[in-house]
Amino acid sequence: MKKRFLSFFLAVLTMTTLGACQGSTAPASQDKPDASPAPTMGTTTEVNSSIAETEPEPVYGGSMVVGIQQDIDSLDPHKATAAGTKEILFNIFEGLVKPDENGNLICAVASDYTVSDDGLVYTFTLRDGVKFHNGADVAAEDVKYSLERASGLLDGTPLISVLSAITDVTILDEKTVQVTLGAPNPELIYSFTVAIIPNGSGEDAEASPIGTGPFAFEAYTPQEGIVLKKNESYWQEGLPYLDEVKFKIVSSSDTALLELKTGSIDIYPYLTDSQAAELESVYKVQSAPSNVVQALFLNNAVEPLNDKKVRQAICYALDKDAINDFVSGGKGTIVSSAMLPTLTDFYEDLNSTYGTGANVEKAKKLLSEAGYADGFDLEIMIPSNYEFHMQTGEVVAEQLKEVGINATINPVEWNTWLSDCYTDRKYQASICGFTCDMTPGYLLNRFRRDSKKNFINFDSAEYDEVYASAQEANNMKDRTGYYIRLQEILTEEAGTAFIQIPPVTTAIGKDVYGYRFYPVYVQDMSTVFKGTRQN
């Protein structure tokens, strides 16, 4: 099945004028020909269709408990960075557009929009009847404020870096907002998912978040979780079904399994294969492709990982097929660079560079050439709340020992990982995963030398030059070529040992219906309801 999001994305790349979005489910690209090839890994469409076939009529009322693996980094939607936070905030906030479960970009706070022929001007028409959770109608001033705050036009500090491309936000009338860019950016449309918040409310966003989503903020307790309540005035008629949703932080995999077995959690995503096997008799266990790239991240600035031959040796030492089989039950997709295979026009299969199985002889040869014939000690820091990454670490450590690298695992709490590893870069290696927002430049951006997200300290002048050329290219063919070259550089330099795109394997209560998998990292609770328990 062809991926409609990609056809939409290609339409924007060619700077065509977009048609109106009809209601909440029509993609902006609905009148455009589907010129994209089928994706190389599955989409969520088939999974969701299969689930829906056996569901009863929706039931209103009740509450739901969703287990999450990490605490919230910020309730301010323009400052939140963690994927685990964004999956929750998806229920509270909406942008002018937002993704749907099939990978389409649909209109939300906006009812339609157009893009000028030169790609510099986006004109959004606001949807009638959209209200904030405080009861106020969404107005053009709210949109202008939100975009100016996120882009840095308000105070000179961009909160979402990609939106710094915006040079002006103008209110044409009470229902129309015009956004001007300094240069064409064919990937920017996806960033208009940025949350629309009330005019002037930024300083209060952390303590009292107010959005337009299907659920409103009720309460938050650090290290425990967040409670959302039904938005009775939600613009999408008939939704949501639930009165309340509790996102409960379960930082220990043992605790998560215990709570799942006792039925105190209704939904829990990102199970390992062994966890899924334990739960399949008491839960509906369902899987779909994810938008997460898992890797053994290597700090290029510390010895001996500052030697390319050592990093290449590590890449050769990994048996990714075995990792996939052990942790993902063979359902993952092996990758060797930072690009989702679903973005087929931009993805380059580089698995042949180091192979998907271990090449012990080659790894040992490179280590010897680098002066480490007797190996070395390597500490792998892993956030302990992610059992998927912890189990991956166990396999990786054993594989590295086969080539003489004495790898040990250092499990740390999530906040410690964020501060020590991601922010301060005080680590050797780490296993974790990063989400992609379905635009090809999203993950590639983080490996630029001056990127605050470049926590592996990747240092390549050629990479920076090619990335800059990609951003300046308005021709789709040229931009695609640059992105492919970036993947090649990252792989050749062994900047990081990429492993797989893990499946999203989720435990869903047998009385829970309406849960949908997305091609982006969200937990959409608007369509979820409780019905009669299945046996």
Q: Per-residue confidence at 520, pLDDT binned at 50, 70, 90?
A: confident
Query: And the tokens for 393?
Result: 């670490």
Quick count: other Cβ atoms within 10 Å of Cβ 223? 10
Mean pLDDT (whole number) for 3-19: 40
User: Which residues fall within 8 angstroms of residue 255, CB to CB, at 6 or more apart?
Assistant: none
Residue 319 burial by Cβ neighbours in a 10 Å radius (0-12, 13-18, 19+): buried
- Assess contact for 409 and 394: CB atoms under 8 A: yes
Query: In the structure, how many helices (H) and strands (E) does the chain have?
Result: 14, 21
Q: Per-residue confidence at 45, pLDDT binned at 50, 70, 90?
A: low
Report the alpha-carbon distance of residue 316 to residue 364 in Å, rounded.
Answer: 9
Residue 383's φ and ψ, nearest 5 degrees, are: -65, 115
- In sign, the C-alpha dihedral spanning 67, 442, 335, 323 is negative
The pLDDT value given to residue 233: 97
The pLDDT value given to residue 436: 79
Could you read off the pLDDT of 278-294 as tens digits, one per residue?
Answer: 999 999 999 888 888 99
Q: Which domains does the chain have, with CATH numbers?
A: 292-501 (3.10.105.10)
User: Which residues fall within 8 angstroms of residue 356, CB to CB, at 6 or more apart?
Assistant: 319, 320, 321, 334
User: Which residues fall within 8 angstroms of residue 158, CB to CB, at 6 or more apart?
Assistant: 150, 151, 152, 164
Report the alpha-carbon distance of residue 227 to residue 209 in Å, rounded.
Answer: 12
Mean pLDDT of the chain: 88
User: Which residues fall within 8 angstroms of residue 114, CB to CB, at 6 or more apart?
Assistant: 17, 18, 122, 123
Query: And the tokens for 474?
Result: 């308005």
Q: Per-residue confidence at 514, pLDDT binned at 50, 70, 90?
A: very high
Report the alpha-carbon distance of residue 505 to residue 489 in Å, rounded.
Answer: 32
Could you read off the pLDDT of 359-380 as tens digits, one per residue?
Answer: 999 999 999 999 999 999 999 9
The answer to whether the bond into 184 is cis (omega within 30° of 0) is no
pLDDT at 26 over 70: no
Could you read off the pLDDT of 99-147 as tens digits, one per residue?
Answer: 988 878 899 999 999 999 999 999 999 999 999 999 999 999 999 999 9
pLDDT at 27 over 50: no
The pLDDT value given to residue 33: 22
The pLDDT value given to residue 535: 53
Report the alpha-carbon distance of residue 457 to residue 317 in Å, rounded.
Answer: 22
The pLDDT value given to residue 178: 98
Region of residue 371 (left: phi > 0; alpha: psi -120 to 50; beta: else): left
DSSP for 397-441 reads HHHHHTTTEEEEEEEE-HHHIIIIIIIS---SEEEEEEE--S-TH
pLDDT at 219 over 60: yes
Report the alpha-carbon distance of residue 511 to residue 99 in Å, rounded.
Answer: 27
The percent of residues in the chain predicted with pLDDT above 70, rounded, is 90
More confident residue, 308 or 20: 308
